[in-house]
């Protein structure tokens, strides 16, 4: 169950950078997006807390931030037309390899 909590926590990590990006415009603050970001932060942290009861802190934190980074990368390309270069995909692929590797070597 801890790994499920951790994956969901990582997915909530996608919400807060999106909320912050959409929450500030040249016209001012968009409070709905700021609130969305805050809710995602709290949910992500709470699920990380639950996951760390059974998963070592270093592993949990690395996987949590890795899932967040990979998801934010993909959302940036998909929603915000950020560059989709081969080099960027290569280095994000290294993050994915690290996440999978940590899962494979972690005690059950």
Structure confidence at residue 108 (pLDDT): 66
Tokens of 82: 């950020």
Mean pLDDT, rounded, for 24-50: 96
Structure confidence at residue 30 (pLDDT): 96
Mean pLDDT, rounded, for 26-39: 96
Q: Which long-range contacts (CB under 8 A, 24 or more apart) does 51-59 make?
A: 51/2, 51/3, 51/5, 51/6, 51/9, 52/2, 53/2, 54/1, 54/2, 55/2, 55/3, 55/6, 55/106, 56/106, 59/102, 59/106
Q: How many domains does the chain have?
A: 1
Residue 106 has pLDDT above 90, yes or no: no
Residue 49 has pLDDT above 70, yes or no: yes
Structure confidence at residue 33 (pLDDT): 97
Residues of the domain holding 87: 2-105
Residue 107 has pLDDT above 80, yes or no: no
């Amino acid at each position: 169950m801890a790994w499920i909590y951790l994956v969901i926590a990582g997915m909530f990590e996608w919400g807060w950078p999106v909320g912050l990006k959409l929450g500030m415009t040249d016209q001012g603050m968009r409070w709905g997006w700021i609130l969305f970001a805050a809710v995602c932060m709290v949910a992500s942290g709470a699920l990380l807390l639950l996951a760390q009861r059974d998963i070592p802190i270093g592993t949990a934190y690395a996987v949590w931030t890795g899932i967040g980074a990979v998801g934010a990368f993909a959302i940036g390309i998909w929603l915000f037309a950020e560059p989709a270069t081969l080099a960027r995909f290569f280095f994000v692929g290294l993050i994915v390899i690290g996440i999978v590797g940590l899962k494979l070597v972690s005690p059950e």
